[in-house]
Amino acid sequence: MIHKTKGTEIRARKNELRAEYKARRAAIPAALRQDYDSTICSLFLSSITYRYAKVLLLYAPTGSEIDIMPIARQALADGKAAAFPRCRIPDCTMDYHIITKEEDLTPGAYGIREPSPALPVYSPDIFGADAHPVCLVPGLVFDPEGYRIGYGKGYYDRFLADFQGVRVGAVYTDFLVGRLPRGRYDLPVDVLVTEKGVRAVHAT
């Protein structure tokens, strides 16, 4: 009963923060958001994390999410593999499919652009041990230890549980806040990228 009550409290607090920061992010002026997004992409592309990655697992932004598509375009231009998630709604899981061009993405689940199911599915076995895969994880708000609040469906938590690579969170500085509530299935990212810089995080 104690664990159930605690879990209910965590979910309720997450929902409060989710609503608050979704509204705050949507209220950022479009020009300022574009400037922040461009800086975040440039900083990540200049990072050692990007330099050594042969595979990037990305997301197609929707609404007011940070636009990381410049990273996808540069990765393709640099000859790296770029993959995007395709959701399986019944069980809230997803597979990443490797694209060769941005036009491979078309509106799918939740109105988010997704790759065709006919495209190759990302598997670490395809690329070998030196692929240094990197997954950019979307989130509404992060804390300094890399924990995040997303949209509450659990797609990324399920995927990241078995992901053997670097997890990166892109977030505006004003959306990097104190210690977020976290449940037993929540996983932190390893690196945070804001409009002010890139840094590794150390979760406790």
Q: Is residue 6 scored above 80 in pLDDT? A: no
**d(C-alpha 35, C-alpha 29), whole Å:** 10
Q: What is the pLDDT of residue 17?
A: 94
Q: Which domains does the chain have, with CATH numbers?
A: 2-200 (3.40.50.10420)
Angle, helices 30-45/69-77, rounded to nearest 10 degrees:
30
Q: Which of 19, 57, 31, 38 is nearest to 140 (CA)?
A: 19
Backbone dihedral region for residue 128 (phi beyond 0: left; psi -120 to 50: alpha; all else: beta): left
Each residue's pLDDT tens digit, 157-175: 999 999 999 999 999 999 9
Q: Is residue 143 scored above 50 in pLDDT? A: yes
Least confident among 1-15, 21-35, 121-135, 155-169: 1-15
Q: What is the pLDDT of residue 1?
A: 47
Instruction: Write out 60-73 in H/E/C secondary structure.
Output: CCCCCCCCCHHHHH
Enclosing H/E stretch for 194: strand 191-194
Each residue's pLDDT tens digit, 49-87: 999 999 999 999 999 999 999 999 999 999 999 999 999
Over the range 81-109, which residues count as b (16 or more CB within 10 Å of their CB) and which as e? bbbbbbbeeeeeebbbbbbeeeebbeebe
**What type of residue sits at position 132?**
H
**d(C-alpha 38, C-alpha 183), whole Å:** 32
Each residue's pLDDT tens digit, 104-136: 999 998 889 999 999 999 999 888 878 999 999
Torsion from C-alpha of 187, 41, 82, 94, nearest 10 degrees: 30
